[in-house]
Amino acid sequence: MNSFNMRYHEVLNEYLLNVRDKVQISFELFPPKNEISCENLLQLVDKLKLFNPIFFSVTCGAFLGKKDNTYNISKKVYQRTGIETVPHLTCINLKREELINVAHKYWENGFRHILALRGDVEDFNSKPNMYAVDLVKLLKSVANFNISVAAYPEIHPESFDAHSDLINLKKKIDVGANRAITQFFFNIDCFLRFRDLCVHNGITIDIIPGIFPIVNFRQLCNFVKTSNVTIPRWIFNMFDGLDDNIEMREILGASITMDIVKVLYKEGIRNFHFYTMNKFKIVASACHILGMASNVL
């Protein structure tokens, strides 16, 4: 490492000296596949809660054939931790009446915060009957939910361009969204440009960066096939030849995640949403450098 890079990392580390109590974090979980996985998830939650997250979110999932699995897991996580738990709700495969019933169920059972999403379509050429903006309006018509929505620093794959993508985000905010959580990214400049564009277009709600710790690089490559997320060439080079070296992959994944967090903190970001993939080590490493509950590790 040359002297410039050494000094750059020293500067980043200096920014982190007084981070404690200045950062907010949240964790995304996904529903387990079976009862054993469910117990593993709850044990993971026991560890993650020691980092004092402001909330857990639970993705939509159809595992075990349970239509309401997101609700059940969200309830278990909240009962286990006492920490606000945010169920994801998609509208792509549900009728309006069904969505209203789901919204009432969440509200009546104490859920006040929903992450409202359209959901993935199988065929980009087909026109969905509802979009996220419609879901936000529907939720607000049922009760005064606290609503998070998705944002895309590298543009949603179905958007015509960055401007139309921002207009769509603005529409969701205008009908009641309270914050946006971004799709994960590895090009930090893309996120920072997106944040600036949001401000320029009158979007003043919190834009929370979604952080994806790389645990399984091949899995990541599959994830990005249906998105506009760019994996920089240097990341491909770092993981080249490491398919069977789990320990080295974890070390590299932790290093990349921590560098992203450091740079974002230097750029004024104080709120981070971690896509945990139901894993602990790398997420814990990133939280540790942010000064969150250092006694956990």
Catalytic (active-site) positions: 28
- Of the candidates 216, 210, 196, 53, the one whose C-alpha atom is nearest the C-alpha of residue 117 is 210
User: Under a CB-based contact definition with an 8 Å cutoff, are residues 217 and 242 in contact?
Assistant: yes
What is the rounded CA–CA span in Å between residue 31 and residue 44?
A: 12
Cα distance between residue 280 and residue 273, in whole Å: 14
Alpha-carbon distance 278 to 193, whole Å?
Answer: 30
Q: What is the pLDDT of residue 146?
A: 98
pLDDT value of position 64: 42
Tokens 């919204």 -> residue: 103
Question: What burial class does residue 178 get, using C-beta atoms within 10 Å of its C-beta: 0-12 exposed, 13-18 middle, 19+ buried?
Answer: middle
**Phi and psi at residue 135, to the nearest 5°:** -65, -40
Closest CA to 166 of 151, 177, 178: 151
Q: For Cα atoms 250, 281, 31, give the angle at the middle one, nearest 5 degrees.
A: 105
One-letter identity of residue 68: D
Contact 167, 131 (CB under 8 A): no
In the chain, domain spans: 3-289
pTM equals 0.90
- 122: which 2 tokens? 């199988």
DSSP character for 151? E
Report pLDDT for 91. Answer: 92
What would be the CATH architecture of the domain defined by 3-289?
Alpha-Beta Barrel (3.20)
pLDDT tens for each residue of the chain, 297 residues long: 555 455 555 655 565 555 555 789 999 999 988 878 899 999 999 999 999 999 999 998 644 445 678 999 999 999 999 999 999 999 988 899 999 999 999 999 999 999 999 987 765 556 678 999 999 999 999 999 999 999 999 999 888 889 999 999 999 999 999 999 999 999 999 999 999 999 999 999 999 999 999 989 998 999 898 888 999 999 999 999 998 898 899 889 988 998 898 899 889 999 999 999 999 988 988 888 777 765 555
- Answer whether 179's CB lies under 8 Å from 241's CB: no
